[in-house]
Amino acid sequence: MYLLLAAHSHGAALQQVTQAGDPHPDRPEPRLISASELPGVVRHLETRPREAAPRWIWHRTQDWYPALLAAGVEVERCYDLSLCGTILAYSEFTAHTEYAQQAEKAPLDDPQEPPRALQPPPPPADQGALFEDVRHRSPRHTLSELRAEYAAQQAALADADPLENKRKRLQLLLAAESAGAMIAAEMQHAGVPWREDLHEQILADYLGPRPQPGHRPAKLEALNNELRNLLNSPALNPDSPQDLMRALHRNGIEVKSTRQWELMESSHPAIEPLLAYKKLSRLHSANGWAWLDAWVSDGRFRPEYVVGGVVSGRWASRGGGALQIPRQIRGAVHAGPGHKLIVADASQLEPRVLVALAQDSKMAAAARDKDLYAGIAAQGFGGDRAKAKTALLGAIYGATTGESGRLMPQLARTYPHAVGFVEQAAREGEAGGTVTTRLGRSSPPPSQSWFRSQQSATAEEQRRAESIARSRGRFTRNFVVQGSAADWAACWLAELRRRLRALRADGSVQAELVFFLHDEVMVHAPEAGVAACIRAIEDAAAAAKELLFGPIPVEFPVSVAVVDSYDNAK
């Protein structure tokens, strides 16, 4: 059952449509629903059996779902027109379709609209705010406009290249992306379990008692005084790179930057307290008391996840640095009473994805090992695991210099298929072409200025052009691997969501997904439900592999830790 939902001046407009996007012959008339009625209507429709559950088609999940969740209503599935439209507009699988060619001229999301980050923060999600919010943001998307957009997207999908399952893969990507949008809203709603008392204890241990606003914590102040003495610079501000650089030079410390790794080359007595200062200063400014006040409430950290925020398909986030929770403070992430945190990550996901993409049977044999790098080390690097890891990551990132660059020929001799695959992606990018992930997400084409830069006259311009081209080659080289890993992770997440919903529905386990980070998930579960959740996580990983690649002999193992506190997960 496909239901279009559009904002309407007196509430929401709801219309049943066919899968192709035509008004449904049995019930073609739109239905108007007021703001206060909507959660009840949605809840009622969601009580149908899973096979008959509606697929909600809406412009942006972010505009509708948070308020529904706040009203206590979850939905089984949706179709996010904005996210799917972006994929279809750029995918090589649909490049020949009218949709892709029109999308360039009239994108669904007006490029004139300022990025969401520049808009005022949304009002607190409550039922009253639902319509004001939606109507305010997308006044021009009426029911019929959205229906036309949906029909156009379905037509493009139907017209996608059917060879090698490309159409099915793309359809899977659209479903996974839409599921991701729901999961993002649900995780924001749930929040990461966060013990403020433990966080404050960590801050006190590292920094001393909470300072007055605008003052340095005691330990930072002490280190600052020590630095001023050691560097004979009574007014030094170590937070200013320029100021710091001058002070270092005055003391004969000849560094070109004030980065950690460069400072560590020096043995001057001021270096140790300086590095300590930088470490603690970072903790204070990025995840200190101000962060705690701003982002944690009622025992939960609630960041906003931005699905489709990275061109490769990875998620981005907004607010609180959700994807950069430093190890130092992970002890504050703590399960509630009677609960556990289940932290699972896909081991060495990107190299394994490369093996599957390139169908490199020799590397697949190495990947049969639980530790892929150890397997590769045994095959081609005399058992030296560190070397094997450096070489393989260098191939994925496009390293040319240093140890990683030197190891490339050795890696290429041992694994011509895998290395050839990423080399091909790099050459495509250098030539101005696009590359595509396993499920059909394509890299953006180069800008006009990129092509202009390639038409160079002087030798100097030519050198610059080659450097720019190589840089784009590294991007496309990495894109196919990072993006296909994101495809896998999106399917893993969607499959896990479905299994956790089933466990919740039959009343056996009230577990919730609370965090996702590229190749890692966190589930907060009652102790009695831990085993069932672990099975769900592992089954979902196996399902994701099968969905992307079919029955190929490449393993995607997940490592699972059951802990009270996130800092014990690795």
Residue with tokens 């012959």: 25
Residues 6+ apart with CB under 8 A from 429: 435, 443, 472, 473, 474, 475, 476, 477, 479
In angstroms, give the least distance from the CB of 401 to DNA.
5
Closer Cβ to DNA, 363 or 480, answer by number: 480
Closer Cβ to DNA, 36 or 324, answer by number: 324
Enter the tokens of residue 136.
């305010």
Enter the tokens of residue 422.
């990423």
Closer Cβ to DNA, 42 or 202, answer by number: 202
In angstroms, give the least distance from the CB of 548 to DNA.
18
- Longest alpha-carbon distance in the chain: 84
In angstroms, give the least distance from the CB of 118 to DNA.
8
Closer Cβ to DNA, 17 or 391, answer by number: 391
Closer Cβ to DNA, 110 or 265, answer by number: 265
Return the closest-CA partner of residue 228 out of 251, 209, 207. 251
In angstroms, give the least distance from the CB of 432 to DNA.
15
In angstroms, give the least distance from the CB of 469 to DNA.
12
Closer Cβ to DNA, 165 or 400, answer by number: 400
In angstroms, give the least distance from the CB of 102 to DNA.
25
Closer Cβ to DNA, 280 or 536, answer by number: 280
User: How many Cβ atoms from other residues are within 10 Å of residue 532's Cβ?
Assistant: 17
Distances (CA, A) of 465 to 60, 385, 387, 435, 533: 39, 37, 32, 20, 52
Residues that bind DNA (CB under 7 A): 117, 237, 239-243, 245, 257-261, 278-279, 282, 285-286, 291, 306, 309-312, 314, 316-321, 323-328, 345, 390, 393-394, 397-405, 471, 474-475, 478-479, 482, 517-520
DSSP 3-state assignment of 462? helix
DSSP 3-state assignment of 110? coil
Type and span of the H or E element at 139: none
DSSP 3-state assignment of 570? coil
In angstroms, give the least distance from the CB of 346 to DNA.
8
Q: Are 526 and 336 a contacting pair, CB within 8 Å?
A: no
Return the closest-CA partner of residue 552 out of 353, 261, 282. 353
In angstroms, give the least distance from the CB of 265 to DNA.
10
Task: Compute the distance between CA of residue 85 and CA of residue 267 in angstroms, rounded to an integer.
Answer: 56
DSSP 3-state assignment of 211? coil
Type and span of the H or E element at 33: strand 31-33
In angstroms, give the least distance from the CB of 120 to DNA.
12
In angstroms, give the least distance from the CB of 236 to DNA.
11
In angstroms, give the least distance from the CB of 37 to DNA.
35
Residue with tokens 């479905």: 498
Return the closest-CA partner of residue 248 out of 276, 236, 282. 236
Closer Cβ to DNA, 101 or 285, answer by number: 285
User: How many Cβ atoms from other residues are within 10 Å of residue 173's Cβ?
Assistant: 26
Enter the tokens of residue 402.
């240093």
- Angle (nearest 5°) at CA 159 between 158 and 160: 95
Closer Cβ to DNA, 171 or 390, answer by number: 390
DSSP 3-state assignment of 300? strand
φ/ψ bin of 273: left (φ > 0), alpha (ψ from -120 to 50), beta (otherwise): alpha
DSSP 3-state assignment of 399? coil
Closer Cβ to DNA, 138 or 478, answer by number: 478
In angstroms, give the least distance from the CB of 520 to DNA.
6
Closer Cβ to DNA, 402 or 445, answer by number: 402
In angstroms, give the least distance from the CB of 209 to DNA.
18
Closer Cβ to DNA, 241 or 383, answer by number: 241
Task: Compute the distance between CA of residue 124 and CA of residue 93 in angstroms, rounded to an integer.
Answer: 40
Torsion of CA 40, 54, 497, 69, to 10 degrees: -20
Q: Are 329 and 285 a contacting pair, CB within 8 Å?
A: no
Q: Are 46 and 149 a contacting pair, CB within 8 Å?
A: no
**Helix pair angle (385-397, 402-414), 10° resolution:** 90
300-301: strand order across its sheet: 192-193, 300-301, 296-297
Closer Cβ to DNA, 153 or 233, answer by number: 233
In angstroms, give the least distance from the CB of 422 to DNA.
11
Closer Cβ to DNA, 24 or 330, answer by number: 330
